[in-house]
């Protein structure tokens, strides 16, 4: 049985209530790390999140950042993206959405749109039982990079 509906809007999550519901302790670290991501529109790295939260909480450790991000990802509150230039980026998942990543400057832009996974999964239905997430990653050149430098990338639709 395939779960193939889409996540709907899920904004204004109260992390305190959410952790409690899941039986997880409501630590300052969890609350602050979640808030740091939820308030960012920048797809921050673990390091960036660490630096941001550490201003308010100087004892914070990197291990807690990674551990908490993994927890938040399991809970479905946060999405981990892998950036072509190494390292992961994190994104609060208020709304299911997708990404465009510029191969030149690394900028990540949000793309909001439904994407039907059903047609992709048709041939796999006997091997796949449950869908957790669908993510579309588009790579290319942003307008800025396209106009400012010379590139030799093979693009889609060219021979």
Partner DNA sequence: GTGTTTAATAAGAAATATTCCTATTAACGA
Partner DNA sequence: TCGTTAATAGGAATATTTCTTATTAAACAC
Rounded CA separation 36/48 (Å): 10
Structure tokens at 94: 């208020």
Residue 35-64 contact track with a copy of itself, rule CB under 8 A, x = bound: ------------------------------
Q: Burial, 43: exposed, middle or buried (Cβ in 10 Å; 0-12, 13-18, 19+)? A: buried
Shortest reach from residue 11's CB to Zn ion, in Å: 29
- Which C-beta is closer to a copy of itself: that of 43 or that of 53? 43
Q: How far is CA 122 from CA 18, 78, 100, 113, in A?
A: 34, 28, 26, 21
- Which C-beta is closer to a copy of itself: that of 58 or that of 157? 157
Shortest reach from residue 73's CB to DNA, in Å: 10
Cβ of 116: how many Cβ atoms within 10 Å?
Answer: 10
Structure tokens at 102: 């510029």
Rounded CA separation 153/144 (Å): 16
Stretch that binds Mn ion, among 6-14, 45-53, 104-112, 151-159 (CB under 5 A): 104-112
Out of DNA, a copy of itself, Mn ion, none, what residue 46 binds, judged by CB under 5 to 8 A for its kind, is DNA
Shortest reach from residue 51's CB to a copy of itself, in Å: 23
Residues 82-101 that bind DNA (CB under 7 A): 86-88
Rounded CA separation 78/38 (Å): 9
Residues that bind a copy of itself in the complex, under the rule CB under 8 A:
3-7, 74-76, 82, 98, 100, 103, 109, 111-113, 115, 117, 119-124, 126-143, 145-147, 151, 153-158
């Amino acid at each position: 049985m395939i779960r193939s509906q889409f996540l709907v809007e899920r904004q204004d999550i109260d992390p305190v209530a959410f952790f409690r519901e899941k039986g997880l302790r409501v630590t300052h670290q969890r609350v602050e790390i979640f808030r740091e991501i939820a308030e960012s529109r920048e797809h921050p790295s673990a390091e960036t999140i660490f630096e941001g939260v550490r201003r308010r909480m100087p004892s914070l450790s990197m291990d807690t950042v990674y551990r908490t991000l993994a927890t938040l990802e399991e809970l479905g509150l946060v999405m981990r993206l892998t950036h072509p230039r190494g390292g992961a980026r994190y994104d609060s998942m208020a709304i299911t959405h997708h990404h465009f990543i510029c191969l030149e400057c690394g900028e990540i832009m949000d793309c909001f749109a439904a994407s039907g996974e059903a047609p992709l999964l048709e041939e796999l239905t006997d091997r796949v039982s449950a869908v957790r997430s669908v993510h579309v990653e588009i790579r290319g050149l942003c307008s800025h990079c396209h106009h400012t430098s010379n590139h030799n990338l093979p693009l889609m639709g060219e021979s």
